[in-house]
Amino acid sequence: MDIATLFDVRGKRALVTGGSGGIGYMIAEGLVRAGVEVWICSRKEADIKAAAEKLSALGTAHAIAADLSGEEGLQKVADELNAAGPLHILVNNAGATWGAKLDGFPRKGFEKVMNLNVTAPFELTKLLLPALRAAATAEDPARVINIASIDGLKVPRWESYPYSASKAGIIHLSRHMGKFLAAEDISVNVIAPGFFPSKMTAAVVDFDDAEAMDAVASPLGHRAGRPEDIAAGVIYLTSRAGAWLSGVVLPISGGMATLD
């Protein structure tokens, strides 16, 4: 029991989708600081290159501009990562949301969210199986982490129907995938974040407004999630400490999973 190396992920290689900002960037920064070689991808080329440049000041980071909502973007990312060699960590974080009243909810909005939040992680994981298999061992499985949301565990305050449905879906999909990938020494786990500062959450919560924060307060304090909160969860699940976990849902939400 070498406690000093229990959470050591140095030398591993990872892909974080949606890594140009928000939770994706927080995860990528935590992994880079921990000694992981990290690829980040996002739709906008300027944004992803700028994020990778910032991360490169801390360690080794690479940028891929790709739209994961379509087959071409998924294949582009898969081709680059499979060619690069073993992939120890895949973090499927890229996602979208859409809010509207039920009686006027557009079908295109529902389909867009379900596609990016459920279909894309499934397809990307499938396409990256060669690189994941190359990294997997019985003692140190390759790790897939799908980023869900606290809204996949409890009904949200907003009419964001496909978002909560997709996040509940990715939770069960992850458990299903984990059951069948375990035989190949690939684990699949889920993180369900609460409120972290991002473009997505800024649309519904003003993190600088005390009254607004009161309305979404978690049992563990009236604050948003911090980079170290989400990075710690990812490092736990991808280090030796998390080597015997699969099908786990980790709510990093200040205790919001305990609320109705």
Residues belonging to the active site: 163
Burial 57-78 (b: 16+ CB within 10 A, else e): eebebbbbbbbbbeeebbebbb
**At residue 247, what are phi and psi to the nearest 5 degrees?**
80, 15
Q: Which of 260, 244, 50 is nearest to 153 (CA)?
A: 260
Rounded CA gap, 175 and 184, in Å?
Answer: 15
Measured CA angle at 150 (ends 145, 156), to 5 deg: 145
